[in-house]
Amino acid sequence: MDISVVVPVYNEEESLPELADWIKRVCASIGLSFEILFIDDDSTDSSWSVIRKINADNDNIAGISFRRNYGKAAALHTGFGLAKGEVIITMDADLQDSPDEIPELYRMVKEEGFDLVSGWKKKRYDPFLKRITSKFYNATARRASGIKLHDFNCGLKAYRSDVVKSIEVYGEMHRYIPILAREAGFGRIGEKIVEHRARKYGVTKYGFDRFIKGYLDLLTVTFITRFGKSPMHLFGTLGSLLFLAGLIFALYLGIRKLHYLNIGIRAPLVTDSPYFYIALTVMIMGTFFFLTGFLAELINRTSSGRNEYLIKDRI
């Protein structure tokens, strides 16, 4: 199969029939075999019923319905596992991503050899505050990751099949799939300016909390990609340095006390100095950091691996 289109769905009942017809029309126009995978994230409207109705008339449209709301990353992770196409296209279900971009995204992966092509919504139809926070967030992500993308969070992306089969997307990490892909060894990451269409149905599912979660997730993915396989390298190093600094300072206080006694000068008790307690606190902090790294290594070695999500229905 040439193309798999993975579409996470959450309360988008109005847009699904139009989106499905649009994707079919575009793929048919370029003569490629395709499938559409709708992953319903426990929608509270009739989205799943609409997906079942669409599926009844189309053999190349399938769907998964979660038993509870897991989030967009879980939907993508599940869709990636089921996808059979050589190129995987992801897009949102709200019609703000245009299926007309599919042929060029497919070409860039197949002919230009990109592992991943990310959309860039250069002209956006979002509120002013959302555009500003998005630019600030993307600038920080570029600087932290070293990947020169303008829009990390764009839902319209294309992947070679082995890319999505080699990464694990969980939590809120869908924003940082390019970083996860690069760390998995897929370094040919491209970008394409794509059309951002005004929302036609419903309301946005994202609020200001996404901005906060985005930065927390950036810290998480930065840690995971650099130290996820060896947390002791970070916590052990920090712990050792802190313990060593506290020990050196405590030794200095003790040696100074002995020196004063040796030359006949009455010196105050070491425990009377506030610096002794500072040194002791630093040593305790260092010990805790070291133990954190040690426990993280044990957990890492016994981890069961990929997440599993409860599925309520399947077509």
**pLDDT tens across 143-164, in order?**
888 899 999 889 999 999 999 9
Q: Give the angle 42-43-44 at the CA atoms, nearest 5°.
A: 115
pLDDT, average across residues 193-199: 86
Q: Is the pLDDT of residue 141 over 80?
A: yes
Which of residues 172 and 307 earns the better pLDDT score?
A: 172
Cα distance between residue 291 and residue 231, in whole Å:
11
Cα distance between residue 159 and residue 120, in whole Å:
15
Q: 92 pLDDT band (50/70/90 cuts)?
A: very high
What pLDDT was estimated at residue 312?
79
Which of residues 232 and 300 earns the better pLDDT score?
A: 232
Range of 28-42, 127-141, 159-173 with top mean pLDDT:
28-42
pTM of the model: 0.74
What pLDDT was estimated at residue 219?
74
Question: Tens digit of pLDDT for each residue in 97-124?
Answer: 999 999 999 999 999 999 999 999 888 7
What pLDDT was estimated at residue 254?
87
What pLDDT was estimated at residue 199?
76
pLDDT, average across residues 235-245: 92
Q: Is the pLDDT of residue 46 over 90?
A: yes
Which of residues 5 and 205 earns the better pLDDT score?
A: 5
**Quick one: CA torsion of 106, 110, 116, 118, rounded to 10 degrees?**
-30
What pLDDT was estimated at residue 311?
80
Q: How many Cβ atoms are within 10 Å of 209's Cβ, its own excluded?
A: 8
Q: 171 pLDDT band (50/70/90 cuts)?
A: confident
What pLDDT was estimated at residue 205?
60
Q: 204 pLDDT band (50/70/90 cuts)?
A: low
Q: Is the pLDDT of residue 313 over 90?
A: no
Bridge partners of 192, per DSSP, are: 119
Would you list the DSSP string of 146-211? ----S-TT-S-EEEEHHHHTS----TTGGGGHHHHHHHTT---EEEEE--BPPP-SS--S--THHH
Range of 54-68, 216-230, 300-314 with top mean pLDDT:
54-68
